[in-house]
Amino acid sequence: MKTLILSSSLSPRSRSYLLCRATEERLLREAGCEIDFVDLREVELAPHHRPRPQDMDTLKERITAADNYILGMGVHCYSVNDSLKLVLDNCCEGMVGKFFGILCAGGGQRSYLSTMHLTQICMNEWRMIQLPRVVYALWKDFEGDTIPEGELSLRLDEFCRDFHSIGGKLLR
């Protein structure tokens, strides 16, 4: 199964990027898992009514080629970050009907339901099916730029186990 991991934060010290990399590491240990990792910090983006960079067409092709998706987001104003919204609005036709999971970094515990906006977009616009398990992490869950052994690491293990198992069953 070919999984595209989209790390959508543009922050140089992104926490959701670390969640995405940790997930990639775990999924690569599973049998038959191929990963395409997109770091949006390396992709030129533009809003819908502005000239479209070639990078966005390339990203759209990579998205279309994948069987399923792991979307990494940072919470901005209780919602998805702006760069992820640009991708959702402009590059995601190829996601229709496919399976996805969400990894999220927030600044505070009370924003954990912000991922529901991503759920709404993926389900209502792209008719996607979500893994019923979100990994939500705060700065305090990390030690520098690493994920320590303990709760967050275990939640990532569970996320990957379920994503791989359900994702495999949903392949057409």
Ligand X SMILES: Cc1cc2nc3c(=O)[nH]c(=O)nc-3n(C[C@H](O)[C@H](O)[C@H](O)COP(=O)(O)O)c2cc1C
Residues found near ligand X in the complex (CB under 6 A) = 9, 11, 14-17, 74-78, 105-108, 111
Cβ 100 to ligand X, closest distance in Å? Answer: 17
Residues 6+ apart with CB under 8 A from 128: 69, 95, 96, 97, 98, 99, 100, 122
Closest CA to 40 of 50, 25, 55, 51: 55
Please say whether the beta carbons of 67 and 2 come within 8 A. Answer: yes
Select 68 or 115, whichever has its Cβ closest to ligand X: 115
Residue with nearest beta carbon to ligand X: 74
Select 17 or 159, whichever has its Cβ closest to ligand X: 17
Select 11 or 120, whichever has its Cβ closest to ligand X: 11
Cβ 124 to ligand X, closest distance in Å? Answer: 22
Cβ 11 to ligand X, closest distance in Å? Answer: 4
Select 53 or 107, whichever has its Cβ closest to ligand X: 107
Cβ 83 to ligand X, closest distance in Å? Answer: 9
Backbone angles phi, psi at 127, to 5 degrees: 50, 45
Q: Helix and strand tally (H, E) in the chain? A: 5, 7
DSSP string, 1-65: -EEEEEE----TT-HHHHHHHHHHHHHTTSTT-EEEEEEGGGS----TTSPPPHHHHHHHHHHHH
CA distance linking residue 62 with residue 57, whole number of Å: 9
Select 115 or 164, whichever has its Cβ closest to ligand X: 115
Cβ 134 to ligand X, closest distance in Å? Answer: 14
